[in-house]
Each structure stands twice: as C-alpha cells, then as structure tokens.
C-alpha cells in the first residue's frame, strides 16, 4: 500500500506528496558529490592544452566590441527617433 508523504517547508507549511512526487523531490534535494578538483599538475596541463584552442577564428573580444558598438548605434537611433516624435 502506497502512503502519502508529508513535506514540511522551512516556513512550517505541510505539503502532502504522493510517493512518486516524494521520490522526485528527494532526488532533487539529494546531496551530490562534488566533482573532483584536478591536481595542480593536471590543471596546468589542461590550461596548456586549451590555450589558444579557439585562436584560429575571429577574436571573441573584437566580436563583442563590434556587437556593442552596433547596439549603441541602434540605441542612439532609437533615442533620436523618440526625440523627434516628442
């Protein structure tokens, strides 16, 4: 026989859950083991391996700056249109 579970919130409210819902909530709240941190040697090797990996293509910094410049131009045009219409 399946029974209902009672979940008490931090505010003291009681929520009745079916056993299936309780199982889902328990899985969400379960404490998970943290990912193991690489040793300093492994971290250094990973950094060296990834260094310049995306350097062949377009500079992401330049792409972001260009996108920001275009965004500012659009914003200024919008402000000018608004100022003309008021």
User: How do the pLDDT tens digits run along the chain, 86 residues long?
Assistant: 457 788 788 888 888 888 888 888 888 888 877 778 889 999 999 888 887 777 777 778 888 999 999 999 999 999 999 898 87
**78: in domain:** yes
Q: Is the pTM of this model over 0.85?
A: no
Whether 74 maps to a domain, the answer reads yes
Cβ neighbours of 70 (radius 10 Å): 10
Domain residues for the domain of 5 are 1-30
Say if 64 falls within a structural domain. Answer: yes
Instruction: Please report whether residue 5 resides in a domain.
Output: yes
In a domain, 40, yes or no: no
Structural domain tally of the chain? 2
pLDDT of 2 = 59
Question: Is 39 a member of any domain?
Answer: no
Closest CA to 22 of 8, 6, 10: 6
């Amino acid at each position: 026989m399946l029974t209902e579970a009672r979940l008490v919130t931090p505010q003291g409210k009681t929520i009745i859950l079916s056993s299936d819902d309780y199982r889902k909530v328990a899985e969400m709240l379960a404490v998970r083991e943290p990912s193991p941190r690489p040793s300093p040697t492994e971290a250094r090797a990973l950094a060296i391996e990834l260094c310049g990996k995306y350097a062949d293509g377009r500079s992401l910094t330049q792409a972001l700056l260009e996108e920001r410049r275009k965004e500012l131009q659009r914003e200024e045009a919008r402000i000018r249109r608004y100022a003309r219409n008021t």
